[in-house]
Amino acid sequence: MSDPIAYINVEERKLEWATPIKWETPTVVKMGKIPLYTKKEWVGLTDDEMQGFGNDLTSPHKSIRDVFNAIEAKLKEKNNG
């Protein structure tokens, strides 16, 4: 999970940035809403990718740990860019 960019201070009822933010714009500007967090849709493995890992399981040179590590690496690559 990534680090938060802001926190809600419930006691003081205010938003606090995780790191100091410096604004370089005029005080009054017309802007749309700026999201604090975004949610990326999960990307799974294709049928062909799953078949490839299935073929690895039948290889005498690959352990189950090797296959799990390869699957994990592929999913990280597809979901974290």
pLDDT in tens, 11-40: 888 888 888 777 676 666 666 777 677 677
The pLDDT, as a whole number, for residue 72 is 92
* Residue 73 domain-assigned (yes or no): yes
Tokens 């690959």 label which residue? 62
pLDDT in tens, 68-77: 999 999 999 9
Cβ atoms of 56 and 66 closer than 8 Å:
yes
Q: Evaluate the CA torsion angle 48, 49, 50, 53 in order and state its sign.
A: positive
* Residue 20 structure tokens: 């100091």
Q: Report if residue 3 sits inside a domain.
A: no
Contact 18, 7 (CB under 8 A): yes
Query: Is residue 69 assigned to a domain?
Result: yes
In a domain, 6, yes or no: no
Strand partners, 75: none
Domain membership flag for residue 49? yes
Domains identified in the chain, total number = 1
Q: Note the pLDDT of residue 23.
A: 66
Domain range for 47? 36-81
Is-contact 15 8, C-beta < 8 A? yes
Residue type, 15: L
